[in-house]
Amino acid sequence: MTEETIVKSTEGKLAAKDYATDQDVRWCPGCGDYSILKQVQSVFAELQLDRDETVFISGIGCSSRFPYYMNTYGMHSIHGRAPAFASGLRSINPDLNVWVITGDGDSMSIGGNHFIHMLRRNFNMNVLLFNNQIYGLTKGQYSPTSEQGKVTKSSPIGSLDHPFNPLALALGADSTFIARSMDRDPKHMRALLLRAEQHHGTSLVEIYQNCNIFNDGAFFTFTEKETKGDTVLYIEQGKPLVFGANNDKGIKLDGFKPVIVDLKDNSANDLWIHDETDRVKASILTRFFDDPAKEGALPRPFGVFYVEQRDNYEDALIAQLNKSIEIKGSGNLDALLRGNNTWEIK
């Protein structure tokens, strides 16, 4: 690169604010969605992603308003169906950078079916699941990720539903990239978004998001200084599973059973070393889903749980068309109209 071109590219460089639209952001003040929007815009600036080559597709919910605030192409579709729109779009134009934005109600309830099918097909796109464990837009009913016994407007004496564990569900659906982050740790979220963007396949990032109006503090045990030390386990490739306010605790595998050990008595070398490519371990890790208030609860992991390289649907689709053209030749309309069996009336 010559000096001149470097100057030019810095000059024409897009800042995070260039990815924002002129529309007023309408989330409640203090909503965790703001932080996610900010990190996405900052990642876009860091990677200098092309606004005209990017599409955000969402369902319905507070979180699904997201596309209106990104200065890219965007579609605010219908409740739960964003994965299906994105799948059709990727099938037609695999050059586009497609992001699906969804909420816990949008993806786990009405759109549960599309969610699992999207994952198994493995289209190359990023999916951000804004999990606030509540229906925000409809003003505070319990959601499929709300804890059992949740008291809300629609469950005044407690909800009866056993909650979904979205990442375990995703692994069950053969997702090829599974990660978790939180609105109140922007640095962590940013790193994960960068990883997600690099993965070739459907990258699922669940983000714990505070709804300060209808479910305030749902994740405070994981996000606030006083408690997070003992409840949060940051997982990193190749690193032992260490946590605790003073990094004094670790996780060991006893057969398939994870156990918490004190690092005073154990060397870090004996701990579970995180391996993102290990499906069996990932399935144990996604099951670290204890109620943090419970005695001896396993800490909640944050980071990339699992990564797998598998063919994308859209690549396979195009390869199949090309193969068919190779074998049969490019379709001839006149021959098609004529068919194989004709007769002539003279």
Ligand X SMILES: Cc1ncc(C[n+]2csc(CCOP(=O)(O)OP(=O)(O)O)c2C)c(N)n1
Site for ligand SF4 contains 214 (CB under 6 A): yes
Contact letters for another protein, residues 292-331 (x by CB under 8 A): -------------------------x--xx--xx-xxxxx
- Dist CA 66 CA 58 (whole Å): 7
Site for ligand X contains 57 (CB under 6 A): no
Only segment of 5-13, 26-34, 118-126, 275-283 that touches ligand SF4 (CB under 6 A) = 26-34
Binding residue count for another protein, defined by CB under 8 A: 59
- Dist CA 297 CA 230 (whole Å): 10
Site for ligand SF4 contains 89 (CB under 6 A): no
Only segment of 20-28, 85-93, 100-108, 268-276 that touches ligand X (CB under 6 A) = 100-108
Spatial neighbors of 340 by CB under 8 A, at least 6 apart, are none
- Dist CA 258 CA 244 (whole Å): 16
What separation in angstroms does the CA of 217 have from each of 31, 84, 132, 133, 156?
11, 32, 10, 11, 19
**Contact 25/67 with Cβ under 8 angstroms?**
no
- Dist CA 49 CA 250 (whole Å): 39
Spatial neighbors of 275 by CB under 8 A, at least 6 apart, are 237, 238, 281
b/e map of 8-38 (b: 16 or more CB within 10 Å)?
Answer: eeeeeebebeebeeeeeeebeeebbbbbbbb
Site for another protein contains 86 (CB under 8 A): yes
Binding residue count for Mg ion, defined by CB under 5 A: 3
* Options 20, 78, 260, 261; binder of another protein; rule CB under 8 A: 78
Only segment of 96-104, 182-190, 233-241, 275-283 that touches Mg ion (CB under 5 A) = 96-104
* Options 35, 41, 143, 146; binder of ligand X; rule CB under 6 A: 143
Query: Segment 130-189, which members bind Mg ion (CB under 5 A)?
Result: 132
Contact positions vs another protein (CB under 8 A): 21, 23, 51-55, 57, 60, 67-68, 70-78, 81, 83-93, 95-96, 113-114, 117, 317, 320-321, 324-325, 327-331, 333-334, 336-339, 341-346
